A and B are shown apart, each in its own frame.
Chain A
Amino acid sequence: EEQLVQSGAEVKKPGESLKISCKGSEFSFSNYWIGWVRQMPGKGLEWMGIIWPGDSDITYSPSFQGQVTISADKSTSTAYLQWNSLKATDTAMYYCARMAGSGSYGDYWGQGSLVPVSS
């Protein structure tokens, strides 16, 4: 069965950098858009951006453009979400999702990566 497995929880301090991962299996990773979604504590879902691992074509949601970096390594079927300098307001659960069709909706989801940022 198609699966996305995300990296584990990471406790970080403001100003630190971080790269979390999302590894796909049992599907052709290079041929699906992969999306990232933020869920802040007690809040709703927000699309951050999507990537096509085949050629690393990326579309960021305007709210997240310049705030994070999305990348992918098709050789290892892994997508990444990266911060250069974390803020306390980045504290959230981050989900990756396989996007069906032309990068539309998430049909398979990772289990989530919790990122608490606190001094």
Chain B
Amino acid sequence: EIVLTQSPGTLSLSPGERATLSCRASQSVSSNHLAWYQQKPGQAPRLLIYAATSRATGIPDRFSGSGSGTDFTLTISRLEPEDFAMFYCQQYGTSPWTFGQGTKVEIK
């Protein structure tokens, strides 16, 4: 199965700063079938990005996804207070679908 490795494990930033989260795959993700989710404590995951670069419905444009092959990035251009959370990448190009272990974005 494809192993996704997210880095860093924790990102300590202030509101207004730019966040850059990485997701690296153990092999090429077919057709760039990669999604990003945000999860806050006590809540279900929320879809942010699919197909590596497409924003889900209702997601603010400060969230953007990029990358291809084995290297993908989620960027939050200017952190808002409500953005601090866990973030997970997920590949759906090769069965079984797999998630990365997550990156926590915390307030510095």
**Is B44 a contact of A95 with CB atoms below 8 Å?**
yes
**Is B98 a contact of A111 with CB atoms below 8 Å?**
no
**Is A106 a contact of B96 with CB atoms below 8 Å?**
no
Residues of B within 8 A of A97 (CB): 45
Residues of A within 8 A of B96 (CB): 47, 59, 61-63
**Is B47 a contact of A107 with CB atoms below 8 Å?**
yes
Closest to B96 in A: A61
Residues of A within 8 A of B33 (CB): 104
Number of A-B contacts defined by CB within 8 Å: 54
**Is B44 a contact of A62 with CB atoms below 8 Å?**
no
Total contacting residues, chain A, CB less than 8 A: 21
Total contacting residues, chain B, CB less than 8 A: 23
Q: With an 8 A cutoff between CB atoms, is B78 at the interface?
A: no
Nearest CB in chain A: distance from B87 CB, A: 11
Q: With an 8 A cutoff between CB atoms, is B99 at the interface?
A: yes
**Is B44 a contact of A46 with CB atoms below 8 Å?**
no
Q: Which residues of B contact A (CB under 8 A)?
A: 1, 33, 35, 37, 39, 44-47, 50, 56-57, 88, 90, 92, 95-102
